[in-house]
Chains A and B, each alone.
Chain A
């Protein structure tokens, strides 16, 4: 990055704060706002606001060196969801109480991810095999959310929400990760003009008061709209 940092960023750097920390803390609100827009205006639900945001961070961490490493993150994500899905049918017959059931699911998911890493290492994908554990754990904990939705709203809904969450996380990743094409520009611009981040406040106030139809509702109510036109 050749551009200039704003004096504020230089001051923070002088206080020994890691540049990566500054970038994440400055841009995380932006990711959250994107989640908000996708939910309130577009109508993509995903698993709430926390899960997509935290998954985004996990993705950024995994892809911090090469942007293509995101494929490992996606593979882990898909594994977690797939195993979570399967475990529901396996455990259904055992009639277990809720919490032990989630614990067993988490166990199997952990083992599956371990197996996935082992397979990757065996085929020479050492970059994948040596992926940092913390973001992986974050993705694994997604399974509880997934199982809850599965029980409450059914597998179909859980699957849709999982895909939507992945979609949001990928958008967040593109913006937040310095290794992606847009990410680099956005980050250097923000470091030069950090005050721009404050724009998210009026944006959120506006969205918070906005009572229009969401984009997906135009589709959902298309027959009604046609009828009353």
Chain B
């Protein structure tokens, strides 16, 4: 019963998604932007993200009456601007031979201008739009199925859904259209969702519809696991760019691969579904909590953090065998200050160092200002010349000042190419990968260095370090 409770804590349910992630992070304006496909298309191209080309849009019956049908290429897609779940979309493969005004649909049936007009009227009336309000119809270029996905897709184009939160891609799945879903990549309509290992961009487990676990492409012996997603790194970056540009704090980006143009963003989703967890056999909630509050400055950094944190199924197996958890070379750490306040930072895991050290400024925010100031006032020359190896100088400082400097536990003398440094050592508590560690750390000026904290061997006993992460 208890394990059921703890493991269900890692899963993101509808209530938590709406209240904790969508409500505070996705403001109304940003949501509207995601719901309106033409608008998000324009916004994305402005941000330099490739999208399927807009051919024309029809916003009223008058434009429909005066529409010049000759401008349509032989293959295109007709969509409602505010459609829902892939409804109301018509995919046209080509013109019927020798006729300029008759097309062939993806299912082989014939489509005339009259058919197109009726369908556009339906769209304008809001038949496919959210809450049935009047809508706009638009034509966009039809993407061509890329070679890599040809064996896996039934009609339609597969796409890759990436959930991005706080500029970090946290979970992804490949969505494959099936016979059951009538060529649509939507899971609710019977499409297949295949989980993706974030680090390698290779597929893992798969689900069809809402919760049926599958291993093969239906009707074939083609394995769904082990598919290498092309352009994986580009896709992660596109998804993060889209998140920043759209202003959606919690975003599901749908990316397709065009045979000629590579990855393009199809659609933004302000309320991405939860089945991605079944496809990945992993809980989204814990992943979201891990990236919460991280300060991600650049897009490549966000992609790297996502890959580091959420890659590798193998690692979970390792964890259960060794009882140690696997961490990467950079980990999110929560430090607890003197007054109990928490500070989140990224720390470098350094197996070459014995002890752990933190930056002076970080130590000050944790409440060690008094210690640092008092330590700086010590006149080191009174201890005589610092000889090779520092011979007992640390001891002497401790004897003389140990009681008067608050929180000082020891001092350490470190020799390096730039000379000798004498550092104060204090005791702090930090939390890494859900484990609480209380330890001695030395305080040093790390202003020139990338990370404010390095964690040395002394504190890594409970962990295995995967340097590829």
List A residues at the B interface (Cβ < 8 Å): 40, 43, 95, 97-99, 148, 151-154, 209-214, 217-218, 220-225, 227-229
Greatest chain B CB density within 10 A among A212, A222, A228 is at A228
Residue B407 CB within 8 A of the other chain: no
Chain B residues 1 to 53 lying within 8 A of chain A, measured CB to CB, are 3-4, 7-8, 10-11, 13-16, 19-20
B464 within 8 A of A: no
18 A-B residue contacts at CB 8 Å? A40-B15, A43-B14, A97-B122, A97-B127, A151-B127, A153-B85, A153-B188, A209-B19, A211-B19, A212-B15, A213-B8, A213-B13, A214-B15, A217-B13, A221-B274, A224-B283, A225-B7, A228-B7
A106 CA to B3 CA in the complex, in Å? 51
User: Chain A's nearest CB lies how many Å from the CB of B51?
Assistant: 25
> Residue B353 at the A interface, CB < 8 A?
no
Kindly state whether residue B121 has any CB partner on chain A within 8 Å.
Answer: yes
- The 8 closest A-B CB pairs, nearest first, are A211-B16, A213-B13, A98-B127, A227-B281, A229-B7, A217-B13, A228-B7, A211-B15
**CB atoms of B282 and A214 under 8 A apart:** no
Q: How far is B11's CA from A211's CA once the two chains are assembled, in angstroms? A: 11
Known: A210-B15, A220-B211, A225-B4. A152 touches B122 (CB 8 A): no
In the complex, what residues of B have CB within 8 A of residue A227's CB? 281-282
Contact of A152 among B10, B85, B121 (CB under 8 A): B85
Is B19 in contact with A148, judged by CB distance below 8 angstroms?
no
| A21 to B194 Cα, complex, angstroms | 55
Instruction: Say which residue of A98, A210, A223, A225 sits within 8 Å of B8 (CB atoms).
Output: A225
The reply on B203 being an interface residue by CB < 8 A is no
Q: Report B360-378 residues with CB < 8 Å from chain A CB.
A: none
Q: Given A98-B127, A223-B278, A214 and B13 touching (CB < 8 A)?
A: yes
CB pair B87–A211 under 8 Å, yes or no, is no
Instruction: Say yes or no: is B126 at the interface (Cβ < 8 Å to chain A).
Output: yes
Which residues of the partner chain A approach B282 to less than 8 Å between Cβ atoms? 224, 227-228
A220 to B212, CA, bound (A): 10
A84 CA / B85 CA spacing, docked (Å): 22
The complex places the Cα of A43 from the Cα of B14 at a distance, in Å, of 9
Q: Do A224 and B281 touch across chains, with their CB atoms under 8 A apart?
A: yes
| B20 CB contact (under 8 Å) in A97, A211, A217 | A211
**Is A212 a contact of B13 with CB atoms below 8 Å?**
yes
Contact B125 A98 (CB under 8 A): yes
Residues from 40 to 83 in B contacting A, C-beta threshold 8 Å: none
Give CA–CA (A222, B15) in the complex, Å: 17
A-contact bits for B118-148, CB 8 A (1 contact / 0 none)? 1001100111100010000000000000000
In this complex, the member of A95, A154, A227 whose beta carbon has the largest number of chain B beta carbons within 10 angstroms is A227
Docked CA distance A221–B189 (Å): 18
Q: Is the CB of A217 within 8 A of B11?
A: yes
Q: Hey, which chain B residues are within 8 Å of A148, CB to CB?
A: 132
Complex-state Cα separation, A214 to B11, whole angstroms: 11
Given A40-B15, A210-B15, A212-B13: A224 touches B122 (CB 8 Å cut-off): no
Q: How far is the CA of A154 from the CA of B83 in the complex (A)?
A: 14
Which residues of chain A are near B342, meaning CB under 8 Å? Answer: none
Whether A152 contacts B15 in the complex (CB less than 8 A), given A95-B118, A211-B20, A224-B282, comes out as no
Q: How far is the CB of B278 from chain A (nearest CB, A)?
A: 6
Bound form: Cα–Cα A211–B19 in Å: 7
Across the interface, do B211 and A223 meet the contact criterion of CB distance under 8 Å?
A: yes
Decide yes or no: A211 and B13 within 8 Å by CB, A225-B4, A225-B7 being known contacts.
yes
Chain A residues contacting B84 (CB-CB under 8 Å) are 152
Question: Which B residues lie within 8 Å of A228 (CB)?
Answer: 7, 10, 281-283
* A99 & B125 in contact (Cβ 8 Å cutoff): yes
Write the nearest CB–CB distance from A192 to chain B, whole angstroms: 35
| CB-defined contacts of B121 to chain A, threshold 8 Å | 97
A225 to B278, CA, bound (A): 9
Interchain CA distance A222-B283 in the complex, whole Å: 11
Contacts of B127 in A (CB 8 A): 97-98, 151
Contact status of A225 and B11, CB under 8 A, knowing A152-B84, A211-B20, A220-B211 = yes
Report the minimal beta-carbon distance from A64 to chain B, rounded to whole angstroms: 34
Partner of B132, one of A98, A153, A218, A224: A98
Q: How far is the CB of A75 from chain B (nearest CB, A)?
A: 29
- On whether the beta carbons of B281 and A223 are closer than 8 Å, the reply is yes
A212 to B118, CA, bound (A): 45
Measured between beta carbons, the chain A residues less than 8 angstroms from B7 are: 225, 228-229
Q: In the complex, what residues of B have CB within 8 A of residue A214's CB?
A: 13-15
Contact status B8-A218, CB under 8 Å: yes
State whether the Cβ of B210 lies closer than 8 Å to any Cβ in chain A.
yes
What chain B residues lie within 8 Å of A222 (beta carbons)? 211
Is B90 engaged at the interface, CB distance under 8 Å to the other chain? Answer: no
List residues of chain A with CB within 8 A of the CB of B4: 225, 229
| Residues of the A chain whose Cβ atoms lie less than 8 Å from the Cβ of B15 | 40, 210-214
How far is B274's CA from A152's CA once the two chains are assembled, in angstroms?
A: 19
- Beyond A95-B118, A154-B189, A220-B210, 17 extra complex contacts between A and B, CB < 8 Å: A43-B14, A97-B122, A98-B126, A152-B128, A211-B19, A212-B13, A213-B16, A214-B13, A217-B13, A218-B8, A220-B278, A221-B8, A221-B278, A224-B282, A224-B283, A225-B7, A227-B282
A224 and B11 form a contact (CB under 8 A): yes
State the CA gap A99–B19 with chains docked (Å). 34
Q: How far is the CA of A43 from the CA of B188 in the complex (A)?
A: 17
Cβ-closest chain B residue relative to A98: B127
Shortest C-beta distance, B161 to chain A (Å), equals 17
Q: Does B277 contact A (CB under 8 A)?
A: yes
Chain A residues lying within 8 Å of B13, measured Cβ to Cβ, are 211-214, 217
Q: Which residues of B contact A40 (CB under 8 A)?
A: 15
Residues of B within 8 Å of A95, CB to CB, are 118
Residues of the A chain whose Cβ atoms lie less than 8 Å from the Cβ of B85? 152-153
The complex places the Cα of A172 from the Cα of B38 at a distance, in Å, of: 44
Which residues of chain B have C-beta atoms less than 8 A from A229's C-beta? 3-4, 7
Kindly report which residue of chain A lies nearest to residue B286, judged by CB atoms: A228
- Residue B227 is within 8 A (CB to CB) of chain A in the complex: no
Chain B residues with CB below 8 A from A152, complex form = 84-85, 87, 128
Given contact pairs A212-B13, A213-B8, A213-B11, A223 touches B213 in the complex (Cβ within 8 A) = yes
